[in-house]
Amino acid sequence: MTNVLVTGGAGYIGSHACKALAQAGYTPVTFDNISTGWKDAVKFGPLEQGDLLDRERLDEVFATVKPAAVMHFAALSQVGESMQDPGKYWRNNVAGSLNLIEAAVNAGCLDFVFSSTCATYGDQDGVVLDEQSAQMPINAYASSKRAIEDMLREFEAAHGLRSVIFRYFNVAGADPDADVGEHHIPETHLIPAMIEAIQGKRDGLTVFGTDYPTPDGTCIRDYVHVCDLVDAHVLGLKWLEDGKGSRVFNLGTGDGFSVKEVIDASRAVTNMEVPHSIGDRRPGDCVKLVSGSTRAVEELGWQPKRSTMQQMIGDAWRWHQTGHYAE
């Protein structure tokens, strides 16, 4: 079977991508330093432990695995932390990705699927965000992702590297079979943090700001189910295999939910109250991020099937009740 090197394959999205790749007939080979991921999540192919900042280790893995393509998820991704320590994000995300891209080109592995983010668009309220929207990142996390996108284009011009770049919105949910799920320490994502509050694993959920110019005063985001998201990544890989050119795709449903609406939906799904308090706005948080793009649907044939709020919370709730990794 065809080997695909999956960086960050022990993490939340990467582990779901490995399952989707295995189901599609590929062998996902995880490359991960296990700093924020989990060895227990590597269930669908072999693990090659290593760090993107270690170029020698990367060259060794490319020589051993001989992947036909790279699927790149490994990154630091906490917006608040990136505002406080931008150097950490430029070093890990950008320098690490440069090592990876150079190693791939050196090995003749020229198909590259990259996990980017809608955060590269910045805070553009009232603007329909599609792939042509101006990129105006307002934090170091988003800036690092935009820099990697630029890097991929430069390496295409110089070396023929082909890439599919996915800029996605808020990812949520879990594998319906509860084989893998979302587990961060500390947990910063809304839905799992909300579930932890319900389960009493944290004092409560903090709603960061209720004075935004939205109908209920809380931030609005476009949520996409992690299984729908990784299905798009497999389609992106096939796009490159079919000889199609480099392309950027937004991944979102076009539906926005406020923080308060997510809390209300959780109450309906779990039949339990969400203990929460109101906090100040976080620096770097945008008011509203919602996709206006249909390119992935029209060109890739992508069909998000599980991206209702009820389904995303329901699958996450099941994972948190039945899953989890050894700590």
**Catalytic residue numbers, as ranges:** 141
Backbone angles phi, psi at 172, to 5 degrees: -150, 175
Please tell me whether the peptide bond between 186 and the residue prior to it is cis, using omega within 30 degrees of 0.
Answer: yes
Count of CB atoms within 10 A of residue 87's CB?
9
Structure tokens at 289: 């991020």
Would you give the DSSP letter of residue 209?
-
Backbone angles phi, psi at 251, to 5 degrees: -125, 105
Got the DSSP string for 61-77?
A: HHHHH--SEEEE-----
Strands 220-225, 256-258: pairing kind: antiparallel
- Dist. CA 31–CA 62, nearest whole Å: 10
CB 67, CB 21: distance < 8 Å: no
| Angle between the N-to-C axes of helices 96-106 and 140-159, in degrees from 0 to 180, rounded to the nearest 10 | 20
- Dist. CA 293–CA 296, nearest whole Å: 8
CB 124, CB 136: distance < 8 Å: yes
Backbone angles phi, psi at 67, to 5 degrees: -70, 150
